[in-house]
Amino acid sequence: MKAAVIVFPGSNCDRDLADAITKVTGRTPAMIWHRETSLPEGLDFIGVPGGFSYGDYLRSGAMAARSPVMQAVIEAAGQGRAVLGICNGFQVLTEAGLLPGALMRNAGLNFVCRNVQLSVANTQSVFTSHYAAGEQIIIPVAHHDGNYVADAATLDRLEGEGRVAFRYAEAVNGSARDIAGILNAEGNVLGMMPHPERLIEAEQGGTDGRRLFEAAMMALA
C-alpha cells in the first residue's frame, strides 16, 4: 500500500498517523505539505490528520479545505483512491465537500479527550472490513468541535445507504444520531472524529484502531 499524509500548518497528529501506517504496513508514507499542487504517482491511501489546521481560524477545517493540495486530494478521491480524514481531517473533508454535513462545537462546549466506546455500523468498506457488525470497540477522541450535524434528509440518506461507519455507544459530543464517522457514497472516503492511529499497539492501551489500517492495507495491496 503506497500512502501519503497531508500536512497543514497546525497539524499535530500527522506524525502519529504516519507512524501508525508505517508500523502496520511496513512502508513509510510520503508527507505532503499543504502548498503542493499534486500528489505522488500511484498512491493507494491518503491520510488527512488531526490537529488544528490554521489554528481553527474561521471554522475548523475551513481554511485547510482551500489549501492547494486539496484539489489533488479531491481528484484522487474521485478516481477511487482511499481517503481517511481523522478528527480535524474529518472537518477538512466536510469543508471540502467530500463528505456531507458539518462538525460543530461539542454540545457541552468542552474539549473532550478520553477513550470512548464506539459501535461498528458498517463492515463493507475498505476501512471497516476487519470489524464485525455491531462490534463495540474503544478508540480515543480529542476534540472541541466534534458534534456532527446534518439536515434530516441527509441523515436519513446516510443511514439508508449504510454510510454511517461508526456510532458513539456513549454520550460524547451531541452528534446527530450518535454518528462518529461516515463514508462517501462510493465507500472510499471515511471521515471520523475518533483517532484509530492512537490505539494500534498494546503499549498504547489497546489495538482496536489497528484493524482499520490492516483492512485498508489488505484491500489496497
Q: Catalogue the active-site residues.
A: 87, 195, 197
Positive or negative: CA dihedral 178, 190, 14, 37: negative
Left, alpha or beta for 177 (phi > 0: left; psi -120 to 50: alpha)? Answer: left
Facing residues of 149 across strands? 102
Helix axes 210-220, 14-25, angle to 10 degrees: 60
Cβ contact 95:64 at 8 Å: yes
- Measured CA to CA, the distance from residue 135 to residue 120 in angstroms comes to 5
Classified as helix, coil or strand, 22 is helix
